[in-house]
Structure 1
Amino acid sequence: MTAAPLTTTPPDRAPIVLDRRTVWLIFAALMASMFLSSLDQSIISTAMPTIVGELDGVEHQGWLITIYILAVAVVMPIYGKAGDSWGRRWPFLIAVALFTAASAGAGFAGSFTELVAWRGIQGLGGGGLMILSQAIIADIVPARERGKYMGPMGALFGVAAVAGPLLGGWFTDVHDWRWAFWINIPVGLLAFAVAWVTLKLPSHRSEHRVDVLGAVLMTLGTTGLVVVASWESLVGSYDLSDTRFAGLLLGTLAASVAFVAVELRAENPILPMRLFRNSVFTLSTVIGLVIGMGMFAALGFLPTFLQMATGVGVTQSGFLMIPMMVGMMATAIASGVAITRTGKYRIYTITGMGIATATLVWMTTITADISMLQYSAMIFVLGAGLGLVMQTIVLAVQNAVDPHEIGTATSANNYFREIGAALGTALFSSIFTSRLVDGLEDVFAGVPQTGQAAAPSSLTPEAVQSLPAPLKDGVVEAYAEALAPAFWYLVPLLALGFVLAFFVREIALSDVAGMIARGEAVTAEQAEAALRESDAPADRGTTPEPGPDAEVTAGPASGTSA
């Protein structure tokens, strides 16, 4: 493959120079926006028992998490393709604005249904923030050096995963759970302003038609898949004799098959099927899928368990997630530095998946009287495993594809991870909630729903603590018996990811940034060389300007086979 030309920038426009200052300014904007999106995946976890209790939504509480993840997943490929086709600046700004506006709406929601709807709209913006941040990093930083940038991004995800429950708990205890959404407004406005100033990225027009049919079919198939997974918590049972369920199942299957058929023929597909011929992309994507199903499904319910089963306060349950943040930050940053130094990344995926699988088995031993030391050790090790895997598989994918498809490939990998998270959360919620509802019905059987004996559908942590001793003990036991056994359903998924990690082929990391390879930018050294040539006296000869082949290595910026 020949090297890309030095620049495709029109003659009347100066090329973007990716010097160190420019890279770090862009990186700061991406960190702020990615933190905003990541924070909202976890900020309601500690507040959720209070929210669903006030809005009478205990039986459908999983939807507050599932709808956000579903919306994020649906728009990820769309944002990825839009960024590759037209540039990433305007899609990124639109995502920030959409997320901020929806946060205001969620804070003023007057019913559980209204809150779920606003959470979905938040996800439509959050998906763009997450995927475009990762794609822009690949645009401006070579894969060989990307580890030291993606390590902090992975650590930021860990910080958000813990800061979210802490903030959600503090707002619920001290102010109002609605501040868990309102806090995004000033942060979102600041992120928009920073991005407006720093994200000076190239924009261009695509010569291809938009794959509207593919986007519609993908949305229908994804939504149907998650609703099927959540059917038990919504209706009560998986019954093929129920025409509604059977119709939904057939419709989802038809939309999925039609989507694949359309993408195989589309001129500019949202999700190119040819990517799956790349073994690194396919294996890394499957690993991301099982991580989403196995990990994020469980994390959303741990603070609820701590509040209800162990009696800790809302804010305290958030503080008890700090060990996970420490573990994730430590391994994400350390592995990023090590990858930059050695150029090797496969071993970290294998190690991380092994640690995560073993930890999930350990978590099946959680009981109502678990010590906080043991609980902290569990989630610390879990965070350490996640920190080794999350950003490493994204790096592997970006390094294995053509630089013109970095956004599409990155979004596809994240899409399947979010699909896994949506499916896993829905299935885990169904298993956990059905067991919990059965247990609570037994506890409250024959008890008048007056006075201190609150209805099971309206239980809040405060209400549980005020119950008479026999009822309180029964509720605590019901939560403990509902959560721990549910982890066993997730163990085989993580074990599959651990096995697949051994088969991921390691490809030499590229030393060329995506924008350089596509001819959309130049390095500081190239800009200086061009400036020296332009300032050289005419009588010094006709030495040609150094061509890009002197700086840009052959092969895609995402990597070439070792």
Structure 2
Amino acid sequence: MDLDVTSVALFASKYEFSTRVPTVERQVQRRSARLFLVNMQLNTHDADRCDSVVELEDRDAHQAVPAAEEDVKQDTNGNRYGWRFWIIFTGLALSALLSGLEGSIMATALPTILADLGAGENYVWVMNIYFLTRHPLYGQLADLWGRRWLMISSVAIFTAAGAISGTAQTTSQLLAGRGLQGIGAGGINMLVDLIICDLVPLRDRGSKTALLFGLMTVASAVGPLVGGALASRPGMWRWIFYLNLPTGAAALLILFVFLRVRKPGDGGGDDATTTVPSARHQLLRRIDWVGNALLIASTTLVQYVLTYAGSRYAWGSAAVIGPLCGGLALLVVFALCEGSPRLCPHPVVPGRVAGNRTSAAALVVSFNHALLAVWVMYFLPVYLQAVRGSTPRRAGAQLLPVVFAFPAAAAGVGAVMARTGGWFRAAHFGGLLVLGVGVGCCSLLGPGGGDAPWVVLEVVVAAGLGAVMPALLPAVQAELREADAAASTAAWAFVRSVGTIWGVSVPAAVFNNRFAELVGRVGDAGAREALGEGGAYEHASKAFVESFASEETRRQIVRVYADSLKRMWQIGVVFAGVSFVAVFFERPVKLRKELETDFGLEKETKSADGGEAAEAKAAQVGAGKGPNGVVRE
């Protein structure tokens, strides 16, 4: 039932909020006002009932002030992270490693897997479906049902899906397993960042995420080496997926035992409907089903176009124009629905997130950063194997310079951000400049020359990516409330997920189209047939090139690969340039030190049981019962 004018006036007169009120007192005010409003919604004709609830909550909440003070406003010394935090962080890191390693280990092994299963031009979908199944729905689910079980279930789904992918005998079975892995990975990636937001103040998030992504980068660099080693032996590529099982089991054990964080209904929070126990159907109504469906449909249609335009279908054909127009139209409808309170009362991407200038600019940077990171990691192995003549194992080892450059740059920028509190804009400018120069110089790589050029460029590109990484999420959240942590983190994770998809499909489309233009230079008819219609990526290996006896044919194939990659790197510079321009729209905001969260560790907040009891009694009073549960007439 909607609040009437009298209720709103009573609320306004009884509670006055000010940003100058101490954090704990402000939390007490919010909690009391929240229960007051909920009670008015439940039964607006009984004012006495509402007053009793407010007095009860006010008294119990003030008794919980010491516990709230510890949870809401943390000090800024270096000792606030205890052993329990670091064990949880280890569990989160293992979970993130599952997802990160799975993405990178496929880089060098994918051609071998596709050749074994006969995937042909559908190779892009083996990667795309892994990222298409991620969406921002997890943000709303985390706010409604909490972080703990959603995180545990995501890791469990990902681990089980690894077994499905490992036992796949056909491309369809592999796609099914990869799709389930994507569902689990989507939850892992979003919830890892969200839980860190719940436990770490905004100013320190850069350093913690830098540490996390540093570990992931090591795994991402080791992944191609492991993938190449396994792919070098017949049938051993299946262990790429089986390796997830012990790591996933360890992560599940740590999370199950130690990840004890508050959930909705335990108290706190700015949204009354989030923290007051509700029926399951009421919670389901708070999910933006329409927005999620529109977003997934539009993303899939655009992805279909990027996958097949220029290789299977001509760019001007109805098979390309139709899905492209449909995808863009659905994207416009999504934007209109998200901006309408009537159509989407609980939007998956709230207007206060997408409409904030700094947040919107940071999301653009995040999208292009994810795109270029995957772009580099998936097509450097093509250069190393098809142009430089490296085996999959050697190509994996040749990506090791990334291990040193990315974590070093990320750790350095994260430390400076934690110390200064407002350096994310400079990190974006500097990192994107280095990244753009590195990607542009990759277009100069050819079949000749020594190892120094590609080693230096790997370091330059990785340093640029690493410098930007820890400044992304803090920039998105810099001007937002802590209550928007889930929505902003979900939007950030989804934008990066779409960027990751495009990081495979966009360069693949450019590469395939350019290769189709140049494949006529190859004199051997059998080679032209194998490399045509999207087969260039599948055959990007030393073994394929050396399968031709003619030295001239081998030289022609290598030259076509090098020239096709050159065009692809040139297009990559455009995306880096767009991100660089977007940084000008970010405001130089000082990152806050205090953490005001409603999803802290249970041990730190369970001492506020008075608040929980008050909320339970509030529900009784609002339902027509007295404070002791006795039904009132």
Judging changes above 3 Å, is the alpha-carbon distance between structure 1 residues 465 and 218 closer, same or farther for their aligned structure 2 residues? same
Q: Which residue of 2 aligns with 1:213?
A: 290
Q: Which residue of 1 aligns with 2:360?
A: 282
Q: Which residue of 1 aligns with 2:195?
A: 136
Question: 8 Å contact 1:298–1:428 — kept in the other structure?
Answer: no
Larger radius of gyration: 2
Q: Which residue of 1 aligns with 2:401?
A: 323
Mapped partners of 1:475, 1:82: distance in 2: 50
Instruction: State which drifts further: 43-52 or 54-63.
Output: 54-63
> Which of 495, 500, 509 lines up with 1:416 in the alignment?
495
Letter in 1 for 2:185: G
Letter in 2 for 1:186: P
Q: Can you list the C-alpha shifts for 1:69-125, whole angstroms capped at 9, x where unaligned?
A: 2223xx2x1112211222111111111011111111111111233323322221111
Mapped partners of 2:389, 2:466: distance in 1: 30
Mapped partners of 1:402, 1:441: distance in 2: 57
Q: Which residue of 2 aligns with 1:224?
A: 301
Q: Which residue of 2 aligns with 1:202?
A: 262
Q: Which residue of 1 aligns with 2:227?
A: 168
Judging changes above 3 Å, is the alpha-carbon distance between structure 1 residues 371 and 81 closer, same or farther for their aligned structure 2 residues? farther
Question: 8 Å contact 1:293–1:490 — kept in the other structure?
Answer: no
Letter in 1 for 2:546: Q
Unmatched tracts of structure 2, length 5 or more:
1-18, 32-56, 72-79, 266-273, 610-633
Q: Which residue of 2 aligns with 1:498?
A: 580
> Which of 91, 95, 101 lines up with 2:150 in the alignment?
91
TM-score, normalised with respect to structure 2 = 0.76
> Which of 71, 95, 107 lines up with 1:45 in the alignment?
107
Letter in 1 for 2:566: A
Question: 8 Å contact 1:357–1:494 — kept in the other structure?
Answer: yes
- Asked if residue 271 in structure 1 is aligned to residue 349 in structure 2, the reply is yes
Judging changes above 3 Å, is the alpha-carbon distance between structure 1 residues 268 and 463 closer, same or farther for their aligned structure 2 residues? same
Judging changes above 3 Å, is the alpha-carbon distance between structure 1 residues 301 and 117 closer, same or farther for their aligned structure 2 residues? farther
SS of equivalent residue, structure 2 residue 336: helix
Judging changes above 3 Å, is the alpha-carbon distance between structure 1 residues 334 and 234 closer, same or farther for their aligned structure 2 residues? same
Q: CA RMSD in A?
A: 3.0
Q: Can you list the C-alpha shifts for 1:123-155, whole angstroms capped at 9, x where unaligned?
A: 111111111111111100112222331220121
TM-score, normalised with respect to structure 1 = 0.85
The sequence identity of aligned pairs, in percent, is 28
> Which of 559, 565, 574 lines up with 1:477 in the alignment?
559
State the 1:174 CA deviation: 4.4
State the 1:45 CA deviation: 0.6
Q: Which residue of 1 aligns with 2:548?
A: 467
SS of equivalent residue, structure 1 residue 61: helix
Q: Which residue of 2 aligns with 1:541?
A: none
Judging changes above 3 Å, is the alpha-carbon distance between structure 1 residues 280 and 462 closer, same or farther for their aligned structure 2 residues? same
SS of equivalent residue, structure 1 residue 177: helix
Letter in 1 for 2:377: L
Q: Which residue of 1 aligns with 2:431?
A: 352
State the 1:441 CA deviation: 5.8
- Asked if residue 332 in structure 1 is aligned to residue 410 in structure 2, the reply is yes
Judging changes above 3 Å, is the alpha-carbon distance between structure 1 residues 433 and 57 closer, same or farther for their aligned structure 2 residues? farther
Q: Can you list the C-alpha shifts for 1:194-240, whole angstroms capped at 9, x where unaligned?
A: 11112111122645522222221111111112112223266232124
Judging changes above 3 Å, is the alpha-carbon distance between structure 1 residues 62 and 204 closer, same or farther for their aligned structure 2 residues? same
Letter in 1 for 2:429: I
SS of equivalent residue, structure 1 residue 396: helix
Mapped partners of 2:500, 2:462: distance in 1: 16
State the 1:257 CA deviation: 2.4
Mapped partners of 2:588, 2:85: distance in 1: 27
- Asked if residue 256 in structure 1 is aligned to residue 331 in structure 2, the reply is yes
> Which of 122, 125, 128 lines up with 2:184 in the alignment?
125
Q: Which residue of 2 aligns with 1:536?
A: none
State the 1:68 CA deviation: 1.8
- Asked if residue 511 in structure 1 is aligned to residue 593 in structure 2, the reply is yes
Question: 8 Å contact 2:440–2:572 — kept in the other structure?
Answer: no
Mapped partners of 2:527, 2:406: distance in 1: 46
Letter in 2 for 1:165: P
SS of equivalent residue, structure 1 residue 401: coil
Mapped partners of 1:198, 1:45: distance in 2: 34
Aligned length: 518
Q: Can you list the C-alpha shifts for 1:297-336, whole angstroms capped at 9, x where unaligned?
A: 2321211221122111111101111112211010111111
Q: Which residue of 2 aligns with 1:34?
A: 96
Instruction: State which drifts further: 87-96 or 209-218.
Output: 209-218
Mapped partners of 2:193, 2:233: distance in 1: 35
Letter in 2 for 1:125: G
Mapped partners of 1:127, 1:447: distance in 2: 41
Q: Which residue of 2 aligns with 1:488?
A: 570
Judging changes above 3 Å, is the alpha-carbon distance between structure 1 residues 522 and 95 closer, same or farther for their aligned structure 2 residues? closer
Judging changes above 3 Å, is the alpha-carbon distance between structure 1 residues 442 and 52 closer, same or farther for their aligned structure 2 residues? farther
Instruction: State which drifts further: 349-358 or 455-464.
Output: 455-464
Mapped partners of 1:520, 1:309: distance in 2: 52
SS of equivalent residue, structure 1 residue 508: coil
SS of equivalent residue, structure 1 residue 45: helix
Instruction: State which drifts further: 58-67 or 197-206.
Output: 58-67
Question: 8 Å contact 2:261–2:599 — kept in the other structure?
Answer: no
